[in-house]
Structure 1
């Protein structure tokens, strides 16, 4: 079925045990829906239930979607068919074509639902078998009408075979997109950036050959047509910015963890990074940490969290000061409220242990070192796409000569690289 907006039904096992869900589902299911086909009516009713449960879930459990970090994957296989009291595993054993193409009975449909694992992850429509088991008396008439239509017409309504694909950004360096957007902004150019590189698994299957083999194995033509109806005719839509109806042209937007189109000189661009550091500190609030463990956490966590941003943008002085203040307060007072006098200058703390310091990275120098790596990469990777983009725009990537002469319309990234030389 179509993949509509997520409603947090990955937590259906919790929802089904909650009082009040029966009345919510029944009320939504009984609403009038339009459609001359049973498949259209069933899809409309499922959509009504989705919308009602989404609202109900938020009222009862809060926003479940924001709490779910990882989803489980499932792999469905048909390893055998049950023929009476025996299991048939080989195609050539299937000779009861009359049974295969017989009418779908309510008993066999319910048997399938009842024996299915209700705790498995939901399918594309968001409903798992636990939901179907619970509300089968309410849904069975509409489901059976759908199956009767399928049995007669030998095909599935296209609306039930539509799905969305979330495009995964795939580029060697996010600065390729950043340079294109920066150029369009500086030179007042219109731009539409979209790179699609995907192939459906079905595209690699020769379906005509598969159907030919099914017929050659002796399957009834009606049954073969059913299989064809299930795998043919699906429609695919791409999600842009996470939505099938996303507005195009909004800047900045996040791409591979970086806010493209944002000004890295503004504190607001770095606010998510600083907020993330403070949030991580709050998670350690109830832990007793020695000063040695604090040093370790500063180097292994607090200095690592902003490394992606620091690798592409030169942090403003205000951001460096705020970052240092967070690290300094954590080092001397831990996660306790209040203030504590820092007895040693931060410059001394950032020196190596051999020089009498604690070996904490100096954020400013660390930022410069990360940006300086691009100079070395540019020298060795002239054939890379991002290097070609820079060379095409600035025409002096090989030597970085005349570093003080930077076009005012150059990108922030290029200015930052030149600035650290």
Structure 2
């Protein structure tokens, strides 16, 4: 948001530098892009690598984007070999030095690390300075979710130096609680998920023709579980499955596996791979039922929020963020993770009962607390403002090294 766009015509008092360790379209990166595109009430700048297109278009929103950081080695956080782990750690140090040389870094009143890897980079770069560091917790802080090396690096190099944390769910925050110093300010804030407004009057079709799933194509998201459940319930019918999402990094093999699985299950002509979808609400609106199928607890589950905000019948796996939002049987159905037979049974129930779909859609429409992207940005602004007293002194005078 420029000064001309602000009611008082004044420049925002806080300069926030957002740091992302990648520019590819992962969930964290898309959430940050939506946050900044929604018109933040702070002076926003972004530092990231040059690869990827997640942040394309932000400069048109008045955001300064500096593509200064090097690309990190793929798979470094889950490395079991000392060579790749050492290479990854060295790359984090190189990125920290590059960040520290950035004029944007020197001018910032607040540093916002968008991911765990970005938090390590920021913490290393911020040593000897008194600029507040806010770390965004988007994944569960566990070895299973982050990889053993990633977990150790994050909890030892980044969290001890955080001044504030933003978690995308209560579950995510609880997973980090034992590792957070008592002084750290903490808040649970919904991540922007592409929502402009909510649907309050559900439109439920008499028959189900399209069942959709939104999410990056990666194994733990459970697209293979969905395909097996779909085949069991709807093989040979006119019901169609739609997968919105694309693979990133080393995950292209998983997409090939999914396509082969559809052939093996005899549903290739009933499955459409939509790739990355920019207009998620439009995709959700075109579906009759939405599915979330993660095989382990999801930190937030943006699909859940996207479906509920558009008043769609939804089946999701229990645990983590989705269980914080869904009351099974009221505004969605919860099933056990990694159980295709459970998901198949739930989908059968939904497809066979118009009354159930209508009830769940109405419950979703009435679910309190789901925020639009603009409301998410306002909530982030309120938390950032808690660090404003430290921002009143020019950054040059606050540096001690």
- Which TM-score band applies after superposition, normalised by the shorter structure? under 0.3
Say which structure, 1 or 2, has more relative contact order (CA 8 Å, 6+ apart): 2
More helix by proportion, 1 or 2?
Answer: 1
- Normalising by the residue count of structure 1, what TM-score does the alignment of the two structures yield? 0.24
- Normalising by the residue count of structure 2, what TM-score does the alignment of the two structures yield? 0.25
More strand by proportion, 1 or 2?
Answer: 2
